[in-house]
Amino acid sequence: MISESFIWAILLLPLASFVVIALVIRPFLDRASALSGRVLIGCLTVALALSLWTLAATAGGAVPDFQPHPWLDVGQATVALGLLVDPITAIMLVVVTGVSLMVQIYSQGYMRGDPSYSRYFAYMSLFTGAMIGLVLSSNIVQLYVFWELVGVASYLLIGFWHHRPAAAAAAKKAFIITRIGDVGFLLAILYLFSQADRFAAAGLDPFHIPDIWQAAQPLATGGAVLGGAALTWVLLGIFAGAAGKSGQFPLHAWLPDAMEGPTPVSALIHAATMVAAGVFLVARFYPLFLASPNAMTVVALIGAFTAFMAATMGLVMNDIKRVLAYSTISQLGYMMAALGVGAYGPAIFHLFTHAFFKALLFLGAGSVNHAAGTFNMRYMGGLRRFMPWTYALTLIGGLSLVGIFPLSGFWSKDEILAAAWQGGGSVEMWVSRLTLGLLLAGVLLTAFYTWRLLHLTFHGEFRGGGEREQSDLAASAPPAAAEVPQHHGAAPAGNHPSGVHLAESPWVMVLPMAALGVAAVAAGFVANPQWVQRLVIFPAHWLTDFLDAGLEHGLGAAAEAVHPIVPKFSLEVALASTAAALVGIGVAMLLYRSRASEAIRDPLERMGPVHRLLSQRYYVDALYEGILVRRVFYRAVAGALDWVDRFLVDGLVNLVGCSVRGVGRGAALFQNGQVQWYGVMIAIGSLLILAGYLVLG
Partner 1 sequence: MTLHDLYLLSPYVATAGMGILVVLLDLVTPRKSLLAAVAVLGVLVAGALTLVQLLDMGGILGGPGLPNLVSDGGVLAGSLSVDRFALFFNFLILAALGLVVLASTDYLRRMPGHQGEYLGLLLFSATGMMMLSAATELITIYIALELTTLPLAALAAFLLTGRSTEAGMKYLIIGAISSAVMLYGMALVFGFTGSTSLEGIAASFRVPAQQDVPFGSYAMLAGVALMLAGFGFKIAAAPFQMWVPDVYEGAPVPVVAFLSVASKAAGFAVLLRVFYTGFLDYDVDWGALLAILAAASMTVGNLAALGQSNIRRLLGYSTIAHAGYILVGVAAVAGVAYSPGAGPAFTTFGPSSVLFYLAAYLAANLTAFIAIIAISNRIESDRISDYAGLVRRSPFLAITLALALVALIGVPPTSIFIAKLYVFTAAVKSGLAWLALAGVINSVISAYYYIRIVRVMFLDAPPSAERIPVPVPSRVALAVVAIATVAIGVAPGLLLTAAEGAVKALAGVAR
- The strand pair at 77-81 and 534-535 is best described as unpaired
The C-alpha atoms of residue 121 and residue 119 are separated, in whole angstroms, by: 5
664 binds partner 1 (CB under 8 A): yes
The CB-of-673 to partner 1 minimum distance in angstroms stands at: 6
Residue 430 vs 677, nearer CB to partner 1: 677
Which lies closer to partner 1 via its Cβ, residue 616 or residue 686? 686
d(CA 117, CA 37): 8
Residue type, 652: L
Give the phi and the psi of residue 77 in degrees, each rounded to 5: -90, 150
Does 668 interact with partner 1 (rule: CB under 8 A)?
yes
Are the CB atoms for 338 and 432 separated by under 8 Å? Answer: no
Cross-strand pairs, 158: none
Helix (H, G, I), strand (E, B) or coil at 33: coil
CB of 33 to partner 1, least distance (A): 18
DSSP state of 139: B
Closest CB 694 distance from partner 1, rounded Å: 7
Q: Whole-number minimum distance, CB 209 to partner 1, in Å? A: 22
Minimum CB–partner distance for residue 667 and partner 1 (Å): 4
- Cβ closest to partner 1, residue 76 vs residue 671: 671
- Considering the complex, what minimum distance in angstroms separates the CB of residue 604 from partner 1? 52
Site for partner 1 in 46-85 (CB under 8 A): 71
493 vs 688 by CB, closer to partner 1: 688
Of 47-55, 288-296, 500-508, 689-697, the segment contacting partner 1 by CB under 8 A is 689-697
Return the DSSP state at 557: G
Smallest gap from residue 693 Cβ to partner 1 (A): 5
Helices (H), 21-139: 26-28, 34-59, 87-110, 117-136
The torsion angle over the Cα atoms of residues 63, 68, 69 and 72, rounded to 10 degrees, is: 150
Q: Does residue 681 bind partner 1 (CB under 8 A)?
A: yes
Q: Is 689 in the site for partner 1 (CB under 8 A)?
A: yes
Query: Is 610 or 684 the residue whose CB approaches partner 1 more closely?
Result: 684
Helix axes 34-59, 4-20, angle to 10 degrees: 170
Q: What are phi and psi of 65, to 5 degrees?
A: -80, 115
User: Which stretch, 204-212, 277-285, 418-426, 668-676, contacts partner 1 (CB under 8 A)?
Assistant: 668-676
Closest approach, Cβ 141 to partner 1, in A, equals 14
Q: Which of residues 485-514 bind partner 1 (CB under 8 A)?
A: none
Measured between alpha carbons, how far is 430 from 419 in angstroms, rounded to an integer? Answer: 14
Assess 682 for contact with partner 1 (CB under 8 A).
yes
Q: Any contact of residue 696 with partner 1 (CB under 8 A)?
A: yes
Nearer to partner 1, 78 or 530 (CB): 78
Please give the DSSP secondary-structure letter assigned to residue 596.
-
31 contacts partner 1 (rule: CB under 8 A): no
Pick the stretch among 133-141, 222-230, 368-376, 673-681 that binds partner 1 (CB under 8 A).
673-681
Closest CB to partner 1 among residues 507, 678: 678
Residue 531 or 693: the one with the smaller Cβ distance to partner 1 is: 693
Binding of residue 694 to partner 1 (CB under 8 A): yes
Question: Whole-angstrom Cα distance, residue 430 to residue 435?
Answer: 8
CA dist 53 and 1 (Å) reads 9
Three-state DSSP class for residue 675 = helix
Q: Which C-beta is closer to partner 1: that of 596 or that of 667?
A: 667
Rounded CA-CA distance 553/536 in Å is 27
Q: Which window, 309-317, 461-469, 528-536, 666-674, contacts partner 1 (CB under 8 A)? A: 666-674
Q: Which stretch binds partner 1 (CB under 8 A): 179-187, 377-385, 631-639, 656-664?
A: 656-664
Contact stretch for partner 1 (CB under 8 A) within 104-112, 472-480, 500-508, 671-679: 671-679
Q: Is 677 in the site for partner 1 (CB under 8 A)?
A: yes
Q: Distance between CA atoms of 444 and 303, rounded to whole angstroms?
A: 17
Minimal distance, residue 653 CB to partner 1, in Å: 10
End-to-end distance of the chain based on CA atoms, in angstroms? Answer: 67
What secondary structure, in 3-state letters, does 440-468 show? HHHHHHHHHHHHHHHHHHHCCCCCCHHHH
Q: What is the SS3 assignment for 504?
A: coil
What are the residues whose beta carbons fall under 8 Å from the beta carbon of 396, sequence distance 6 or more? 357, 360, 407, 517, 520, 521
Instruction: Give min distance, CB of 30 to partner 1, in A.
Output: 14
CA 541, distance to chain mean position in Å, is: 27
Give dist(CA 239, CA 250) in Å, integer: 12
Does 690 bind partner 1 (CB under 8 A)? Our answer is yes
Q: Is 671 in the site for partner 1 (CB under 8 A)?
A: yes
Stretch that binds partner 1, among 3-11, 52-60, 532-540, 663-671 (CB under 8 A): 663-671
**Interactions with partner 1, residue window 626-645 (CB under 8 A):** none
Least gap, CB of 18 to partner 1 (angstroms): 16
Q: Which among 548, 546, 558, 547 has a CA at the least distance from the CA of 212? A: 558
Distance CA 209, CA 285 (A): 8
> What's the rounded Cα separation, in Å, for the pair 204 and 294?
25
Candidates 102-110, 398-406, 407-415, 662-670; binding stretch for partner 1 (CB under 8 A) = 662-670
Cα torsion through 99, 102, 104, 108, rounded to 10: -160
Q: Total residues at the site for partner 1 (CB under 8 A)?
A: 30
Report the residue number, 533 or 671, with the smaller CB distance to partner 1.
671
Dist. CA 104–CA 111, nearest whole Å: 10
Residues engaged in binding partner 1 (CB under 8 A): 71, 657, 660-661, 663-665, 667-668, 670-671, 673, 675, 677-679, 681-686, 688-690, 692-694, 696-697
